[in-house]
Amino acid sequence: MERAEIDAVVIGAGVIGLACARRLAMAGIETLILEAESDIGTGVSARNSEVIHAGIYYPTGSLKARLCVEGRRKLYEYCEAHGVAFKRVGKLVVATDETQIPAMRKLMAQARVNGVDDLLEISGEEARRLEPALSCVAAFHSPSTGIVGAHDLMLSLLGEAEAHGAALARQSPVLRGYLEDDGRVTLEVGGASPMLLTARLLVNAASLGAQAIAHGIAGFPAAHIPPLYYAKGNYFSFSGRSPFSRLIYPMPEAAGLGVHLTLDLGGQARFGPDVEWVDRPNYDVDPRRGDVFYAAIRGYWPSLRDGALEPAYAGIRPKLQAPGAPGADFRIDGPERHGMTGQVHLFGIESPGLTSSLAIADEVWKQLQGNAEP
């Protein structure tokens, strides 16, 4: 089998792996991205809401809170500078009855602690002036929430990484790995051109495959590999003109943000994602779930017509918590956690991972830096 050596390997060409590869390449590190599929961005990064989140929901001091707020700023700057399609459409988070108002204000207070200082509470009437089809008793407006073309972003990140010398190997699944005596890691790569690849630095950004990769590296401490649960999020599309010009979110639920309305860059509306715990990834959308969607959406949009929703697509959240358990934070695990020099493993990069991608890449780089002199 062919053998090769390189400074750094990034496993996974989703938005996180591509952002990390760009960061490493821009620091002068010779970087190879290994992607199992035949193209970039066919995993979680292709199946989400494409929302640039403001940073409202996440617990104080969590990586999600910090990296979402930092990542959002970086992402807007990046999109502007690189011509990546985005729109700062804003969103309304709505209380559909009086009992939800205290929880709505609690969310606003949490957002302020997280550094989101541009929220504005408005009455139901003011909300209807902005969005005449909306039914709610109160709401808050988040002007810094937006939408981004995720694929456009990934192409741009790859382009910049390549411009700084990084390379992408498609159809190159990482099968297993082991440590060399000098601490470097050797990966066995299958697929189109099987090889053994030895690297000084390793970023595991394989998302739904991240735990399997960590388990496959001989000597990686199993106690530091979190469990993985799959929370599918189903979407339904709405044919016809969108009734709203901003994103509309109900109050969040246990493992998701509630069945909300998002817009794509063409202004088309879609609803979702819901939360369906599954044993293994599958992307079928059961049309019967539509009943729950109609009920949830009519809470804030009563005039939704029967038959207006169509099953669209689904994504899988890589959850670290079991159904019913409290929400977990991102895990960006460097050597000080697992003891493997030069390795960073990312686990549980669910929402707001797309928003946070550039900040996550900076964090990964920070963790590697002790070992990363070019």
Ligand X SMILES: Cc1cc2nc3c(=O)[nH]c(=O)nc-3n(C[C@H](O)[C@H](O)[C@H](O)COP(=O)(O)OP(=O)(O)OC[C@H]3O[C@@H](n4cnc5c(N)ncnc54)[C@H](O)[C@@H]3O)c2cc1C
Which residues of the chain form contacts with ligand X (CB under 6 A)?
Answer: 11-17, 34-37, 42-45, 48-51, 53, 173-174, 205-209, 213, 233, 273, 315-317, 349-355
Burial of 331 (0-12, 13-18, 19+ CB in 10 A): middle
In the complex with ligand X, the residue whose CB is nearer, 199 or 316, is 316
In the complex with ligand X, the residue whose CB is nearer, 63 or 349, is 349
Q: Which two tokens stand for residue 355?
A: 């928003």
Q: Which two tokens stand for residue 171?
A: 């159809």
In the complex with ligand X, the residue whose CB is nearer, 138 or 333, is 333
| Phi, psi (deg, nearest 5) at residue 294 | -55, -45
What SS3 state is found at 188? strand
In the complex with ligand X, the residue whose CB is nearer, 258 or 353, is 353
Assess whether the previous peptide bond of 335 is cis (omega < 30° from 0). Answer: no
Closest approach of Cβ 300 to ligand X, in Å?
Answer: 18
Order across the sheet with 86-87: list the strands.
51-52, 146-148, 86-87
Closest approach of Cβ 80 to ligand X, in Å?
Answer: 18
Closest approach of Cβ 183 to ligand X, in Å?
Answer: 22
Closest approach of Cβ 357 to ligand X, in Å?
Answer: 7
Closest approach of Cβ 317 to ligand X, in Å?
Answer: 4
Pairing of strands 260-263, 185-189: unpaired
d(CA 265, CA 319): 28
Closest approach of Cβ 119 to ligand X, in Å?
Answer: 18
Helices 353-368, 15-26: crossing angle, 10 deg rounding:
40
Closest approach of Cβ 40 to ligand X, in Å?
Answer: 7
DSSP output for 276-342: EEESS------GGGHHHHHHHHHTT-TTPPTT-EEEEEEEEEEESS-TTSPP---EEE-HHHH--TT
In the complex with ligand X, the residue whose CB is nearer, 20 or 138, is 20
Burial of 254 (0-12, 13-18, 19+ CB in 10 A): exposed
Closest approach of Cβ 18 to ligand X, in Å?
Answer: 7
In the complex with ligand X, the residue whose CB is nearer, 101 or 155, is 155
In the complex with ligand X, the residue whose CB is nearer, 129 or 215, is 215
In the complex with ligand X, the residue whose CB is nearer, 37 or 162, is 37
In the complex with ligand X, the residue whose CB is nearer, 7 or 276, is 276
Residue nearest to ligand X (CB): 353
With beta carbons less than 8 A apart as the criterion, state whether 256 and 278 touch.
Answer: no
Count of CB atoms situated within 10 Å of the CB of 279: 7
Cα–Cα distances in Å, from 108 out to 72, 139, 164, 261, 322?
Answer: 18, 10, 41, 20, 27
Closest approach of Cβ 215 to ligand X, in Å?
Answer: 11
Q: Which helix (H) or strand (E) holds 42?
A: none
d(CA 215, CA 221): 8
